[in-house]
Amino acid sequence: MYADTGANRHQVGHARWKFLTWCADSDIPEVRRLAATIDRWWTEIAAFIDTGHSNAKSEGINRVIKLVARNAFGFRNAEHQRLRTRCVTTRRARGYLRTAQL
């Protein structure tokens, strides 16, 4: 069974085939590009469907770190920038980030 969908591998494969066929029949270039992207990333998508695990939390924390680093651009003391980043990404401070619960 796949990640809370109740579907088996055959059902997921069939739904993928139907989606890709529908996209291929479309005259809309963006839909065809979407299908190519889905097809290119299918291994990763299937891994998520199979396990229910993703790297969303680490990607979210990386986004916050980059945002803090951008806001701290121009600080002369690199140690202060490092400490500021560390403070924002601690468990207590992350409560305000409203990360999605999986």
Split at pLDDT 50, 70, 90, the class of 54 is: confident
* CA distances to 6, 12, 45, 66 from 3, in Å: 7, 11, 11, 31
- Residue ranges of the alpha helices (H) in 1-102? 9-25, 29-40, 42-51, 56-71, 78-88
Mean of the per-residue pLDDT values of the chain:
78
Q: Taking the domains of the chain in order of start, what are their residue ranges?
A: 9-51, 56-97
Confidence check: pLDDT of 93 > 80: no
Q: Say if CB 9 and CB 17 are below 8 A apart.
A: no
